[in-house]
Amino acid sequence: MRDMGRFLQNFGEKTVKMIYFDKNRNTFYLEGKSFSYVFSVEEGYLHARHFGGRVGRDGLTWLNGAPAMAFSAMPPAGEGSTSLDVMPQEYASFGQGDYRTPSVLLEREDGQTASRFFYLSHEVGCTSDFGALPHARGGQTLKVTLKDVLSDVELDLFYTVWEDCDVLTRHAVIRNTGSEPVTICRAYSFCLDLPADRYETLCLHGHHCGERSPERTPLSHGTFRIESARGASSHQMNPFLALLRAGCGEETGECYGVELVYSGSFVLSAERSQTEGVRVQGGINALNFCWSLAAGEDFVTPEAALCYSKEGLGGLSRSLADFLRLHVISPKWAFAPRPVVLNSWEAVYFDFDEAKLLSLIDGAARTGADTFVLDDGWFGCRGDDTTSLGDWRVNLSKLKGGIAPLAARCRKHNMKFGLWFEPEMVSEKSELYRAHPDWAIGAPPRCACRNQYVLDFSRPEVVEYVYGQLAEILKTGDVAYVKWDMNRHLTEFWSKGLPAGRQGELAHRHILGVYTLARRLTEDFPEVLFEGCSGGGGRFDAGMLYYFPQIWTSDNTDAYARAKIQYGTSFAYPMSAMSCHISASPNHQTGRSTPFSSRAHIASLGATGFELNPAALSEEELEMAREHVRTYREMQPLVLQGDLYRLASPFEGDFAVLLLSKDKREGYLVGMCGLVEAGAYDRRLRLAGLREDFVYEIPALGIVARGDTLLHAGVLLPRLPDFGTFAWRIHGK
């Protein structure tokens, strides 16, 4: 084992504080802001000991349980005295008597699949080469290298901690040190074996126009699994999973959260075994995944963020929000005021020409918006969704002067101009498809979806071509904002660029290609703000947030529906990551009518903007729009930097959230009360997060009261018309 003293001196006090190795007990301690993560090397195996509240560096060997249960297989003579079937592990291998789900499954040339990984060495203060894979920035990293005693494969397990947040990230690197190729059938990012307890799971499921509904269920024996096999993280299931210990609530109790820094097909699972312990793990979905690792090559898994909270789900969400803002989202944008956008989609859809857009821009200026974004329909000969994806040249029959006059009109109003792209797609009716039919994933006849195919980004020449097309337009300097959409999922899963036998690499190689393009464009055009989108919030994940600081939360812009979607999204992502626009009433997706103020209040809980035609607004509504923008600019620091407290769930009735500054002096409380009921009773809303000893003023209610009064006694919810909302500023000192 390496002498840690040398490393600790090199990395100073911080390293000593955050990553510590006790060489007498062969035990690692990783210490974030308020948690400890402890594991040790025992008879060569990595034995997980603790993830939770801060503990002393005491070895924890007394927690070793019985070495086996009936029907447990023991390691071969001389290679361990505990069955892997009962040992809590850091990364589980296959075929060694641990019958829980393995973290890694490798197949060698002769067909053998068993592996047994032993500790080889470790290093503190190292970095990892992620290529274009998104990952958290900074922190202190521990690398533990293991060696498969049955094959020429090495495994690096990476752990990173930060002193300013309660998140630890993990990923693995698999290295073929032999002379024959090895097939990776599964390579998860992490394995977290939690001790016996009764747990519940919380996942964020959904569909197009109804993303990220929280669902909480008791964890039964067997395996609870959430996944996407769509080639994208998806509307249907988000790559986030929480495990709640008994008694965990919104602001009290213990829970864990895992989220993948990955945007492709994924799996996250929680397996309750015969020991009553729970194995949580996940990463790239093993379905249809298979990677041939040649001699000398390595394979890097996506990163997973693991979070522990002793302040319930609210604490978990705040820690994840801090982690994403501090270490994942680009530092250039994470805390920067966001543009207030007027987007053309729900205003005019495909139906526009230059004159119509110029007057839309004039209208946008009257709302107080500072950026106009031209959505779908400006390129090729696109007049509807049947053609032209892939032909990223201006549709001159619609826009005779191209983009320049639109950008110029924006400049005249002191506004910026933005443009919609769908870089990963091609229409069958397009010049690109005619020239390169084999650039689409799969072979004809392909499944159709919105009349388009997915371009094969596993092929570097395809990524290069699309880069060239987009860069050509961005080089003009007219475009300050890009909305990057993705409106269908993968099918067929076959690439002409890959040999038979390696097609299982396609989905992961494709998303690596997407990241490569995102990296090149964001690096080459650093002043452009890229907003992510996938039929609304179909790719709302930490991987996308690494490149795109905000994401269009949902194609459903109805205020009542959005309150739910944004509430659900807040379990795992910061408010500043959610793009939220005021749209028309009646709403285009639900047909529901809501007051302008309700739409404005709900749209203020994120990166705000408009998704409507200002020409359809009355003078009074236009004034409300301007007032919305003024108020938003004042309270935007709370969206960007503040903490979120969920006070009431729209899935159970009323909706209320409080955004609170870190110093707890400024707050913004927004709520909605659904449908009016005759004879309704008065309902109290208890606040959260306030300092007990501060005196707070809520001017809208004429209340001046101590924090503890508002926390424990609360206020009354106002009586409002159907779908009415309230938004109150709170000042404390």
Q: State yes or no: cis peptide before 586, omega within 30 of 0.
A: yes
Chain centre distance of CA 289: 22
Distance CA 483, CA 416 (A): 14
User: Which is nearer to ligand GLA, 183 or 344 (by Cβ)?
Assistant: 344
Nearer to ligand GLA, 162 or 378 (CB): 378
For residue 546, state whether it binds ligand GLA (rule: CB under 6 A). no
With beta carbons less than 8 A apart as the criterion, state whether 469 and 392 touch.
yes
In contact, 318 and 644? CB cutoff 8 Å: yes
Q: Per rule CB under 6 A, is residue 530 in the interface with ligand GLA? A: no
Among 391, 485, 531, 643, binds ligand GLA (CB under 6 A): 485
**Residues binding ligand GLA: what is the number (CB under 6 A)?**
11
Is the Cβ of residue 166 or residue 375 nearer to ligand GLA in the bound state?
Answer: 375
Shortest Å, Cβ 683 to ligand GLA: 35
Q: Is 374 in the site for ligand GLA (CB under 6 A)?
A: no
Q: Output the smallest distance, CB 482 to ligand GLA, in A.
A: 12
Find the shortest distance in angstroms from Cβ 540 to ligand GLA: 11
User: Is 220 strand, coil or helix?
Assistant: coil
Considering only 420, 421, 453, 645, the residue that binds ligand GLA (CB under 6 A) is 420
Between 376 and 428, whose beta carbon lies closer to ligand GLA?
376
Catalytic residue chosen out of the listed positions 391, 485, 541, 643: 485
Rounded-to-integer distance, Cα 54 and Cα 31, Å: 7
- Identify which of residues 227 and 485 has a Cβ nearer to ligand GLA in the complex: 485
Q: Is 157 in the site for ligand GLA (CB under 6 A)?
A: no
User: How remote is the C-alpha of 332 from its chain's centroid?
Assistant: 18
Residue closer to ligand GLA, measured from CB, 420 or 481:
420
Please name the helix (run of DSSP H) or strand (run of DSSP E) that holds residue 5, with its range, or none. Answer: helix 4-18
CA gap 528, 282 in Å, rounded: 33
Task: Decide if 555 is catalytic.
Answer: yes
Nearer Cβ to ligand GLA (343/458) = 343
Between 263 and 458, name the residue whose CB sits nearer to ligand GLA.
Answer: 263
Q: Name which of residues 686 to 725 contact ligand GLA (CB under 6 A).
A: none
Stretch that binds ligand GLA, among 83-91, 284-292, 333-341, 532-540 (CB under 6 A): 532-540
Q: Is 558 in the site for ligand GLA (CB under 6 A)?
A: no
Nearest distance in Å: CB 372, ligand GLA? 14
155 binds ligand GLA (CB under 6 A): no
Is residue 139 a contact point for ligand GLA (CB under 6 A)? no
Only segment of 62-70, 503-511, 531-539, 626-634 that touches ligand GLA (CB under 6 A): 531-539
| 77 CB-near residues (< 8 Å, 6+ apart) | none
Name the β-bridge partners of 154. Answer: 147, 175
Measured from the CB of residue 655, what is the shortest distance to ligand GLA in angstroms? 23
SS (H, E, C) 618-668: CHHHHHHHHHHHHHHHHHHHHHHHCEEEEEECCCCCCEEEEEECCCCCEEE
The residue within the footprint of ligand GLA, chosen from 32, 80, 302, 536 (CB under 6 A), is: 536
Q: In this chain, which of 85, 98, 370, 375 binds ligand GLA, going by CB under 6 A?
A: 375
When asked if residue 487 is in the footprint of ligand GLA (CB under 6 A), the reply is yes
Task: Give the position of tokens 């084992």.
Answer: 1
Report if residue 552 touches ligand GLA, rule: CB under 6 A: yes
Please give the biggest Cα pair distance in the chain. 84
The Cα 482–Cα 466 span in angstroms is: 14
- Interaction of residue 345 with ligand GLA, rule CB under 6 A: yes
Active site residue 164: no
Q: How far is the CB of 436 from ligand GLA (least distance, A)?
A: 23
Residues in the chain: 733
Binding residue (CB under 6 A) for ligand GLA from 98, 154, 311, 555:
555
Tokens of 492: 């067929």
For ligand GLA, the closer CB: 128 or 451: 451
Provide the edge-to-edge strand list for the sheet that holds 655-660.
643-648, 655-660, 666-672, 725-732, 695-698, 703-706
Give Cα 591 distance to the centre of its chain.
Answer: 30
Q: Does 531 bind ligand GLA (CB under 6 A)?
A: no
Does residue 533 touch ligand GLA according to CB under 6 A?
Answer: yes
- 182-191 b/e with 16+ CB inside 10 Å = b? bbbbbbbbbb
Q: Which residue lies nearer to ligand GLA by CB, 552 or 645?
A: 552
Question: Which residues are 147's β-sheet partners?
Answer: 118, 154
| String marking each residue 192-231 x if it binds ligand GLA according to CB under 6 A | ----------------------------------------
CA 212 to mean position of chain CA atoms: 11
How far apart, in whole angstroms, are the C-alpha atoms of residue 551 and residue 540? 7
Based on the number of CB atoms within 10 Å of its own CB, is 680 exposed (0-12), middle (13-18) or buried (19 or more)?
Answer: exposed
The stretch among 334-342, 490-498, 528-536, 696-704 that binds ligand GLA (CB under 6 A) is 528-536
Q: Among 154-162, 362-370, 392-400, 533-541, which window interacts with ligand GLA (CB under 6 A)?
A: 533-541
The yes or no reply on residue 391 touching ligand GLA (CB under 6 A) is no
Q: Which is nearer to ligand GLA, 370 or 376 (CB)?
A: 376
Distance CA 672, CA 648 (A): 10
Give CA torsion, residues 644, 645, 646, 647, to 10 deg: -150
Q: Are 182 and 153 in contact (CB under 8 A)?
A: yes
Q: How far is residue 66 CA from its own chain's centroid?
A: 39
Please report, as a single letter, which amino acid is at residue 14. Answer: K
CB of 581 to ligand GLA, least distance (A): 9
Q: Which residues pair with 228 in a beta bridge?
A: 266
| Cβ-based burial of 71 (10 A; exposed 0-12, middle 13-18, buried ≥19) | exposed
Q: Which residue is nearest to ligand GLA (CB)?
A: 376
What are the angstrom distances between the C-alpha of 333 and each of 227, 321, 322, 478, 606?
A: 30, 14, 14, 20, 14
Candidates 322, 541, 555, 643; catalytic one: 555
Minimum CB separation of residue 442 from ligand GLA in Å reads 22
CA 474 to chain centre: 26
Per-residue HEC secondary structure of 435-448 comes to HCHHHECCCCCCCC
Q: Measured from the CB atom, is 200 or 385 closer to ligand GLA?
A: 385
Least CB distance from residue 420 to ligand GLA, whole Å? 6
Would strands 117-124 and 140-148 be described as parallel, antiparallel, or unpaired?
A: antiparallel
Q: How far is the CB of 354 from ligand GLA (least distance, A)?
A: 19
Contact mark string toward ligand GLA, 445..484, x via CB under 6 A? ----------------------------------------
Cβ proximity of 417 and 480 under 8 Å:
yes
Residue 376 sits in the site that holds ligand GLA (CB under 6 A) = yes
Of 129-137, 146-154, 429-437, 530-538, the window that binds ligand GLA (rule: CB under 6 A) is: 530-538
Footprint of ligand GLA (CB under 6 A):
345, 375-376, 420, 485, 487, 533, 535-536, 552, 555
Catalytic residues: 485, 555
